[in-house]
Structure 1
Amino acid sequence: MNAPLIHVGILLQQQKIDFSLPDGYKSNGREIQPGDYSVEISGEKILFKGEISDELVFEADDLHHNAFGLKNVIIGVQFHWERKEDQYFLGSLKFIVENGSLSAINIVSLEDYLTSVISSEMSATSSEELLKAHAVISRSWLLAQIQKSQSLENSETGYRTSFETPTEIVRWYDRENHNRFDVCADDHCQRYQGITRQSTELVKKVIQETWGEVLFYDGAICDARFSKCCGGVMETFENVWEPVIHPYLQAKPDYTEGSPLPDLTIEDNAEEWIRTSPPAFCNTQDANVLKQVLNDYDRETADFYRWKTIYSQEELSVLIRERSGIDFGEIIALQPLERGASGRIIRLKIIGTERVMTIGKELEIRRTLSKSHLYSSAFVVDTQDEDENGIPQTFILTGAGWGHGVGLCQIGAAIMAEKGYGYNEILAHYFPASETITNY
């Protein structure tokens, strides 16, 4: 059965976009000569070759073979590996205007999209069972987001992604702002870098063998989340995003044998867990396995299971002011008020000489405490070098994991595959109570 077509936002909020087209593209029924082109914003319109339009589409003769190029695509947006690349994409190219700026959208077959995603999220030379597991969860997540968007459009109640009071800001970040396309191309959704990342015959085989397969729970496609490294324990969905309980996205240790998991919502237990390096599938430094999961720029991050970040008083107070827009003065303390099941902080009190404020959830905390994103919110804080007023001059954050920790742990899943687990066993470990079905 044919896969559905999806719309992927590639370059967003630009004033000018440079692109290239080979043979096989049409616009408004007219053949477009191969070459390099650009579009610019003109008021609330798109300017292309002297003509103005509200929307501009370059249609591929063959969605599965024709590929266009986009210049200076930003990858790793606001993360520590952010950079620009020229990228190429199968399918059609669409330009739209949003809020006085241009966005470039790729119209592509869902299965062609997945071929790229699992080559972009990890290495296309990964093990077969890991790639199969990732194909199923990436397909499930995307279809679940499309269904969620449709239900939000039909809902009479407003959807909220933040709660704010004079003393507390709680925000979570998902993809509800993608109103004109189904999904974006960056880590905010899931990495999609077209045919820029070299795929392999194995990836194509994996897509064919899992064609249309999704995770299912209680009559609905699972909102199958994943992160780079859970740090030893999976987090629950409701502690990271909206307060909705998904039974297949709950706390669970990233191992199948061993001692019972301590209650990491208790501060003393979380501190002991984070300061040590307990066994877990994702507790590995196996370079051969990590090469399967981590692309070249990801391997710039070596300390993902347990990590340490040190800030001076000046660095931290300036950072928090710039990232939050709130002047706390000098920072006196970072005080965890509530932790999730994986030890991730979901409510953090920032105590300053000028202001006291509580922030959450985990990504808001990570964004506030880093120039990009802190590896995770599962951390403990030590202070040193108090001045004459008792204000610390050094803050040491010791943390666990890389990402939100919900659902599949990519590094843990890679180790499971290396140990001989099949993709259905991997999925059962990370998404308990779910089942795999063929959706189309």
Structure 2
Amino acid sequence: MNLSVGILFAPCIKFRLNGIYRNEAQTYTGECSVIKSEEALILQTSAGQQTISSGFTLTPDEHEQADFDLLDVVIGIHFHWERTENQKFKGALQILDEQQYLTAVNILPLEDYLLSVISSEMSATSSLELLKAHAVISRSWLIAQKVKKERLTADYQSCLRDENQYIRWFDREDHDHFDVCADDHCQRYQGISKAYTPAVQQAIEATGGEVLLYGEEICDARFSKCCGGVSERFDNTWEPVNHPYLTKVIDSASLTPVPDLSREEHAKAWITSAPDVFCNTRDKQVLSNVLNDYDQETQDFFRWQISYTTEELSALVKSKLGIDFGTIHALEPLQRGVSGRIIRLRISGSKKSMVIGKELIIRKALSPSHLYSSAFIIETEKDSSGTPVRFTLKGAGWGHGVGLCQIGAAVMSAKGYNYKEILTHYFPGTKIETIENGELKMKTPPSASLPPPL
């Protein structure tokens, strides 16, 4: 199975072909660039320039020996660690004209894609069982996205906006001309730039073709960095679809019940506490194994806080949403999910009051990049006249919190759980099957319950 991955979005695409690449009868190699003129795309090579069409595809003559470098690829788009780097890729390179910019697309086999994904989403030095777990969920997610793409109808809506509300979620439907993107919006995919290890190759081979199933459907297997102690439901983060395997999971071996975190008083107690759960760790060895270099810059992922003056927050929200609330005087959670994440938040100001959601819009609105998560409480400081002068957000977790918790799974692996036990924990009611030649064949499912830690 081949797939297409959108890598770079820019007015000029610069790349280096390391080997012989072909478009129809013409061959190319070495330094190249593509720019967009008023009427056409211009390809510049050492031999000169030529006009090309959108969808221009360069395919290597020798797949195993050839690769290409994309220059100045932006990673972590809009996140706190955003940066550019040069990246190396196997497979074919396609250049698309998407009106506002050019898009560089990598076309390659699914299993080759997975080699990079599990080295990009985590460190290639992660434990074998964690890499296996991630290989299965990344493979499942990708296939589920291709199925979803085929099922999307023209009237599908991911945004509800009027004078009183701005509710939006971001998912597969945001990509029309390729299967997935290469950044955190989908799955991190950074080509063969990241150092592979024998364990990465072993994890892919050991789980070859394995996917998670719930009933007869391949699971839309999601994951985030740190759930904060309890995972969130799919429908509270994306479209209103119930996936029973993407539900509330307490991130511990004991599965001790927690209060109803959709209630404000319980959410506050939970977020301001430090529960004994898998992802509550500062074990440097575990974290260095699971987090890539730039992710290790983030230390306060389990519990965190950020503070703004009223003026700072008002200016920030206006710049991020393009909505002028005037001077903001209140932030009010209207709906929380099962993990305590805010799904609907009312922002009230001197000019306007409006409800925003879902979780990613809230995270975008209240941070120069992204808040770590929408699981936070609001403390409002007032002056002697009762006027708000500062808002402090105290939060839990890193990411949307749906499905597998990467840091929690890393701790589970360090404690001796195998990949099937990890998957059983985060995706209740699922089973593992394998795809061979496009057909599903049963493999032994994971155990029905989580065993005690070793």
Q: Distance in 1 between matches of 2:291 and 2:371?
A: 18
Match of 2:23 in 1: 27
Distance of 1:302 and 1:223 partners within structure 2: 29
Aligned-pair CA distance for 1:387: 6.0
Q: CA deviation at 1:282?
A: 0.3
Partner of 2:281: 284
- Per the alignment, residue 274 of structure 1 pairs with 271
Question: C-alpha separation between the residues in 2 aligned to 1:222 and 1:44?
Answer: 43
Relative to 1, partners in 2 of residues 1:387 and 1:318: Cα closer, same or farther, differing over 3 Å?
farther
Structure 2 residue identity aligned to 1:436: I
Partner of 1:264: 261
2:36 matches 1:41: yes
Residue 313 of structure 1 deviates from its aligned partner by 1.3
Q: Which residue does 2:296 correspond to in 1? A: 299
Tell me, which stretches of 5 or more residues in structure 2 are unaligned?
437-454
Question: Shift of residue 44 of structure 1?
Answer: 4.7
| 2-structure distance, mates of 1:298, 1:420 | 24
Match of 1:339 in 2: 336
Partner of 1:427: 423
Give the whole-Å Cα distance in 1 for the aligned partners of 2:230 and 2:401.
Answer: 7
Distance 1:19 1:387, change over 3 A: farther
Q: Which residue is equivalent to 1:206?
A: 203
Map Cα deviations across residues 65-99 of structure 1 (whole Å, 9 max, x no partner): 42100000000000000000010001111101112
Separation in structure 2 between the aligned mates of residue 225 and residue 81 of structure 1, nearest angstrom: 22
Which of 16, 32, 49 in structure 1 is aligned with 2:12? 16
Q: Percent identity?
A: 54
SS of 2:172's equivalent in the other structure is coil
In structure 1, what is the equivalent of residue 70 of structure 2?
70
Alignment partner of 1:230 is 2:240: no
1:165-203 Cα shifts (integer Å, max 9, x gaps): 321111111121211110100000000000111111110
State the one-letter code of the partner of 1:176: E
92-101 or 350-359, larger mean C-alpha shift: 92-101
Q: Give the secondary-structure state (helix, strand or coil) at the position aligned to 2:289.
A: helix
Cα separation, 1, equivalents of 2:257 and 2:180? 38
Aligned residue runs from structure 1 range 176-191, under 5 A: 176-191=173-188
Among 296, 301, 307, the alignment partner of 1:310 is: 307
Root-mean-square deviation (CA, aligned residues, Å) is: 1.2
Match of 1:165 among 151, 156, 162: 162
Secondary structure at 1:129 match in 2: helix
Deviates more, 1:254-263 or 1:417-426: 254-263
Q: Give TM-score scaled by structure 2 length.
A: 0.93
What is the CA–CA distance in structure 1 between the aligned matches of 2:256 and 2:250, rounded to whole Å?
A: 10
The aligned amino acid for 1:395 is F
Q: How many residue pairs were aligned?
A: 431
Aligned to 1:57: 57
Residues 44 and 401 from structure 1, CA distance in 2 versus in 1: closer, same or farther, beyond 3 angstroms? Answer: farther
> Is the CA contact 1:161–1:242 (under 8 Å) kept in the aligned structure 2?
yes
2:173 match: secondary structure? coil
Instruction: Output the CA distance in 1 between the equivalents of 2:180 and 2:425.
Output: 27
Deviation track 1:106-147 (CA, whole Å, cap 9, x = no partner) reads 011111110000000111010000000000000000110001
Alpha-carbon separation, structure 2, partners of 1:226 and 1:258: 19
* Matching residue within 390, 395, 400 for 1:394: 390
Contact 1:331–1:391 under 8 Å retained in 2: no
Q: Tell me the residue number matched to 1:95.
A: 95
TM-score with structure 1 setting the length = 0.96
Mapped contact 1:239–1:340 kept (Cα < 8 A)? yes
Deviation at 1:439, TM superposition (A): 1.4
Unaligned runs of 5+ in 1: none
Separation in 2 of the partners of 1:297 and 1:391?
40
Query: Where in structure 2 are the equivalents of 1:127-138 lying within 5 Å?
Result: 127-138=127-138
Deviations 1:32-76 (A, max 9, x none): 23x211111122532113321223111012334421000000000
Partners of 2:262 and 2:356 in 1: how far apart? 17
**Quick check: 2:19–2:67 contact (8 Å CA) kept in 1?**
no
Q: Which amino acid counterpart does residue 417 of structure 1 have in structure 2? A: S
1:365-376 equivalences in 2 (<5 Å): 365-376=362-373
**Partners of 2:414 and 2:399 in 1: how far apart?**
22
Q: What is the distance in 2 between the residues matched to 1:44 and 1:253?
A: 56
Structure 2 residue matching 1:328: 3-state secondary structure: coil
